[in-house]
Amino acid sequence: MARRISSLQAVLLSGLAMAPLVAMGPAQAEPRKGGDLIRLLEQGSCKNCKLQDSDLVHADLRDAELVSAQLQRSNLSRSLLDGADLRQANLSFASLLGASLRGADLRGANLEGADLREADLSGAKLDPNALASSHWKGATGVSAEASSYASMHNAGVEAAQQGRLVEAEDYFNRALLNNPDAAITWLARGITRSQQAKAEPAQQDITYAAALFEQQGDTATALQLREQLKQLEQKEKKESGNGYGSGLLRTAGGLFQQLAPLALKLFAPTPF
């Protein structure tokens, strides 16, 4: 599909492509890079392109064919890459801040260190754990399979600590899809739900967390959680209104603050 570029872009890119070589070594790659950039912008297809360190901010690359393209460290911020074929592309340490990648094919792509914050990955095809070493804070459409359990849990903890409770609960949901036996995540989700006054689901989560802690040999934590829930139930019988949610927050919140840092130390560092 042909691409329309401005006359100024054409002049600048042509000059880059035709610039004489004045030195050997890495400079030899510059004419090839300029030619690839022109081909990409004009034709929307450039397999195996050498485009590392390119400035493609706000570029319209929808449905572009970029199989095995070398795009490491390139600036693709706010670019349109919907439906683009980026299989096996090298996007390591590239900036894709706010980029639209809806339905893009990123299978086999190297996304190490890539900045995908605020990007739209809805419907994108990604390998399992493809985003484990990238930065995707605020991105939409991130599936549980595409990231690691630790990244999802850590993202939930950060969101909860900042008061973004609905977002935190969603992260914990996705973390549990990857690791359904993670007692700390059941506890974290229970506390997050309690802060949203979801009393019954919160109680169920914390009860299940206690059972998992016990199965995994941490009987002290299991007993502590059960004792707190028992005290809370007794308190609720004496009080009326919506005191359950706030009471659960007070009793479980302190324990969460103790356990969350410990859990985070055991997990992979957050990618944010």
**What are residue 139's phi and psi, to 5 degrees?**
-75, 150
Domain positions in the chain: 7-43, 149-266
The pLDDT, as a whole number, for residue 114 is 96
> pLDDT digits over 42-86, tens only?
888 888 999 999 999 999 999 999 999 999 999 999 999 999 999
Domain 149-266, second-level architecture: Alpha Horseshoe (1.25)
In this predicted structure, the answer to whether residue 3 has a pLDDT above a threshold of 80 is: no
Give every CB contact of residue 215 below 8 A, 6+ residues apart in sequence: none
In this predicted structure, the answer to whether residue 156 has a pLDDT above a threshold of 90 is: no
Does 95 or 165 have the greater pLDDT score?
95
* pTM of full prediction above 0.95: no
> pLDDT digits over 171-215, tens only?
899 999 989 999 989 988 988 888 788 888 888 998 999 999 999
Give every CB contact of residue 201 below 8 A, 6+ residues apart in sequence: 190, 193
**What are residue 45's phi and psi, to 5 degrees?**
-145, 125
What is the pLDDT of the chain when averaged over all its residues?
A: 79
In this predicted structure, the answer to whether residue 248 has a pLDDT above a threshold of 90 is: no
